[in-house]
Structure 1
Amino acid sequence: MAFEGLADRLQNTIQRIKGKGKVTEQDVKEMTREVRLALLEADVNFKVVKDFVKRVKERAIGQEVMESLTPGQQVIKVVKEELTDLMGGDESKIAVAKRPPTVIMMVGLQGAGKTTTTGKLANHLRKKHNRKPLLVAADVYRPAAINQLQTLGKQLDLPVYAKGTDADPVDIANEAIAEAKENHNDYVIIDTAGRLHVDSDLMGELQQIKENVQPDEIFLVVDAMTGQDAVNVAESFDEQLEVSGVVLTKLDGDTRGGAALSIKAVTGKPIKFAGMGEKLDQLEAFHPERMASRILGMGDVLTLIEKAQDSVDENRAKELEQKMRSASFTFDDFLEQMGQVRSMGPLDELLDMIPGANKMKGLKNAQIDDKQISHVEAIIQSMTKKERQDPSLMNASRKRRIAKGSGTSVSEVNRLLKQFEEMKKMMKQMTNMQKGKKGKGMNFPFM
């Protein structure tokens, strides 16, 4: 998780105050001191930290907390609300043109992931909003950028407008918009040139494109792993171009989160999207409240549900549920469900979205190894069709064959068989328990 260090410190700090029946001013002072240190270590702008801590302190020793029946809980509520406000409050949606196409300019420095993010954004608009975007290769200084965008277009089966390295970027942008109107594309996403640092030539060109095409949005793409430098870059671009929003890339990496917590407060510009991985479907609309919940260990159920809806076939899920109820769930079904869960993203990130998962015995500090999951898949795929349908067929020689075929050991095969049988028993018990509750059906995780 992006804010891992910050999240651990904040969660440990507020945990001490959570169950208190009475919260003193001294308790609040100690908590806010720890919060301040945690934010500074996360590379949050020091002025932002100062203002944040001041607001939390004022509210935490105010009437809404001190006179509450659950003051510890109220303090946590205050911290969550202030964190949410710090990152922008509400989700900031794309401004849509009154007459299509909606034009989005993507700007930023080289290395921030601008071209890849352009492809991810187009994919997001098509999948989530059923739009028809046109990608525009306007970085004429780097042939690799044009080739990269064209490759992304092929992978996503989306049109790319490119005229090579000899054309003028302003002409490319204008002609692309005309092409979009002709082909009924409702979004035009322009991948502009970047530099290793902000310079007058780059800004001059970007200003020309802006004046000519009058974009509805100017998205600044910044690398979250650069910390405070990302905030400085945002200030420079905003000064020259008046950017309308920020897209943070690599928010899933080993980043302290300072950029995400500082950019809105310093520049006044909202974070519109966050890149949560390298895959082309790993771009998420940025929800400040959900992110604040994740930082404080409260989970993010709404994003988890959205991921499940995107990844899971509802009719097939109902069939699997019926199989679980009747204990006819097979290894083939198990393999299919594992694939659906994995398509939702890394399992450790999914666990972060489950409220309280970080406090559950056995899950706290758990290291989920994707290789181990691949071993499980390999074991199942090494079984015959009959063995997957009826594990009771397994004898010593069959287990040896499966272990050899999957590159695992007989003990690993035995462990999987045992776990599978235990899971089936547990599902049957839960179904029997549920029958006594007004006939309501049981909802299984990720289904």
Structure 2
Amino acid sequence: MFDNLTDRLSNTLKKIKGQGRLTEDNIKETLREVRVALLEADVALPVVTDFIDRVKAGALGQEVQSSLTPGQSLIKLVQAELIKVMGEANEGLNLRMNPPAIILMAGLQGAGKTTTVAKLGRWLKENQKKKVGVVSADVYRPAAIKQLEMLAGELDLEFFPSDISQKPVDIANSAIEAARKKFLDVVIIDTAGRLHIDDEMMGEIKELHAAIQPIETLFVVDSMTGQDAAVTAKAFNDALPLTGVILTKADGDARGGAALSIRHITGKPIKFIGVGEKTSALEPFYPDRLASRILGMGDMLSLIEEIEQKVDKEKAEKLARKIQKGKSFDLEDFREQLLQMQNMGGVNTLLDKLPGIHAVPTEMKNQINDKMLARQIAVINSMTMQERRFPDLIKGNRKKRIAAGCGQELHDVNRLLKQFLMMQKMMKKFKTGNMANMMRGIKNNVRAFRR
């Protein structure tokens, strides 16, 4: 996510970081490169102009000029302005009303609206402990109704049936009434999308909004459309009282123009960001954390939260007790770690949040992906339980049998065993005596990077 922008900004700001004195000339040159980087990221021109003006004013101010590390102060200033552009802080959903709280989802066709309805339902259920119902008022696309029904079934959300012969207002009112009888906390209403903004579409959704009076009206927009996403959001906001935006497909957006343009142009907060195809791949939008990621500083807070929410704590504690007792970390333990990583959204989702990951060569990053994860799990699944418990048994003929059993090459088995040995060595440091030193080292590395 935002790879191109991160690379450009990191390289530009690195040049000035070590300079002992800021002058008008080197500030001008640095900000010229920052401006180009933002424009290449498809950030809207008014946003870029305003951003550069504010950073320039701050850079020429007394606080930065008199700093002992003016170059680093400038980087902090850029980070602070990035946060301001995206909205200062996360703005959560307002569900303070007599249940059910009604959330209306709007957007163009192809933005991922129906999938986002399911993702949001799952997020509310798992993180807010809400009883959630969903309904599709898209009477133009029968497949959308079926798609939402299937997703609701997978996620154990209450699904209210609808039919293309019904009017959207009748569908919504019927679902809300049924939700009241079932004592649900939230009802999320999916609406029809169009290939472009038109009067008919706006008239229909305005009528629906007036009839149901939702507490949240969220605009779902594809982040890969860049600054066009902000323009479309503004058009919807002019017609509807939007309360926020959900950015989808951010995992495929290497530029970041939408995230940096929407708040400035619409005045509406980005409330969530979609970071993958899985129904778990929806995150609250934190401007400060995203600014850190854009500048290559990672997002350790989100990573820690994700680990706490998605890791099986019982299994993690069992492994920790095993290691602390001096027992060896084996291939069955390694398999469990790989499965946990898969459950957390895959390798790329985790890597994106690590500080300094942008500095890793692209070829190396491309080798670490979810397909590789699945292949590694397949190799271990091809082993007997005895081989998993006692990896030293795995020699020549056993390796050939394991490779044939999972349809892979011998070098794939050797690569997995090499990675396992590295992991095994690292796990030895988790013994009680070394834990404190290890944690201290991690903290120091993060602090050093942020400095």
TM-score class normalised by the smaller sequence: over 0.9
**Residue deviations 1:108-163, cap 9 Å, x none?**
11111111111111111001111111102111122111111111111112112223
Residue in 2 that maps onto 1:342: 342
Residue 290 of structure 2 corresponds to residue 291 of structure 1: yes
Task: Tell me if structure 1 keeps the 8 A contact 2:55–2:81.
Answer: yes
Identical columns (%): 50
Number of the residue aligned with 1:170 = 169
Q: Secondary structure at the match of 1:107?
A: strand
Q: Quick check: 1:420 aligned with 2:420?
A: yes
- Measure, in 2, the Cα distance between the counterparts of 1:258 and 1:71: 28
Deviation at 1:434, TM superposition (A): 1.5
CA-to-aligned-CA distance 1:169-216 (integer Å, 9 cap, x gap): 112212211111111111111111222111222111111111111110
Higher mean alpha-carbon deviation, 322-331 vs 151-160, is at 322-331
Give the whole-Å Cα distance in 2 for the aligned partners of 1:288 and 1:347: 23
Match runs of 1:9-408 below 5 Å: 9-325=8-324, 326-359=326-359, 367-408=367-408
Whether the aligned pair in 2 keeps the contact of 1:18 and 1:76 (CA below 8 Å) is: yes
More displaced stretch, 167-176 vs 426-435: 426-435
1:26–1:365 distance in 2 versus 1, CA, 3 Å? farther
How far, CA to CA, are the matches of 1:228 and 1:311 in structure 2?
33
Structure 1 position 47, deviation (Å): 0.9
Q: Distance in 2 between matches of 1:88 and 1:394?
A: 55
Paired with 1:201 and 1:132, the residues of 2 have a C-alpha distance of: 33
Unaligned runs of 5+ in 2: 444-451
User: What is the aligned partner in structure 1 of residue 446 from structure 2?
Assistant: none
CA distance in 1, matches of 2:160, 2:416: 51
Q: Tell me the distance in 1 between the aligned counterparts of 2:106 and 2:188.
A: 11
1:313-348 per-residue CA deviation (whole Å, 9 max, x = no partner) reads 222212212333414211111100111112222323
Q: Distance in 1 between matches of 2:251 and 2:289?
A: 15
> What are the Cα deviations for residues 46-73 of structure 1, in whole angstroms up to 9, with x where unaligned?
1110000000111011111111112111
Deviation, 1:20, is: 2.1
Q: Are the structure 2 counterparts of residues 45 and 435 from structure 1 closer, same or farther at C-alpha, using a change threshold of 3 Å? A: closer
Q: Secondary structure at the match of 1:165?
A: coil
Counterparts of 1:171 and 1:16 in 2: how far apart (Å)?
A: 61
Change (3 A) 1:383 1:228: same
Cα distance change of structure 1 residues 22 and 166 upon mapping to structure 2, 3 Å threshold = same
CA spacing shift, 1:382–1:365, aligned 2, 3 Å: closer
Q: Do 1:20 and 1:71's aligned partners in 2 also have CA atoms closer than 8 Å?
A: yes
Which runs of no fewer than 5 residues in structure 1 stay unpaired? none
SS at match of 1:252: helix
For residues 139 and 415 of structure 1, do their structure 2 counterparts lie closer, same or farther at Cα, with a shift above 3 Å needed?
closer
Structure 1 pair 432–235 and aligned structure 2 pair: CA distance change class (3 A): closer
Secondary structure, counterpart of 2:250 in structure 1: coil
Write out per-residue CA displacement over residues 73-118 of structure 1, whole angstroms, 9 at most, x where no aligned residue. Answer: 1111100110011011110111113211111110111111111111
Moved more, 426-435 or 317-326: 426-435
Query: Which has the higher mean CA deviation after the structures are superposed, 225-234 or 274-283?
Result: 225-234
Conserved 8 A contact 2:123-2:280: yes
TM-score, with normalisation over the residues of structure 2?
Answer: 0.92
Q: 1:419 to 1:136 in 2, by over 3 A?
A: closer
Task: Give 1:357 shift.
Answer: 3.5
Distance in 1 between residues matched to 2:130 and 2:429, nearest whole Å: 45
Q: Which moved more, 1:303-312 or 1:371-380?
A: 371-380
Correspondence for 2:449: none
For the residue of structure 1 that corresponds to 2:278, the secondary structure is: coil
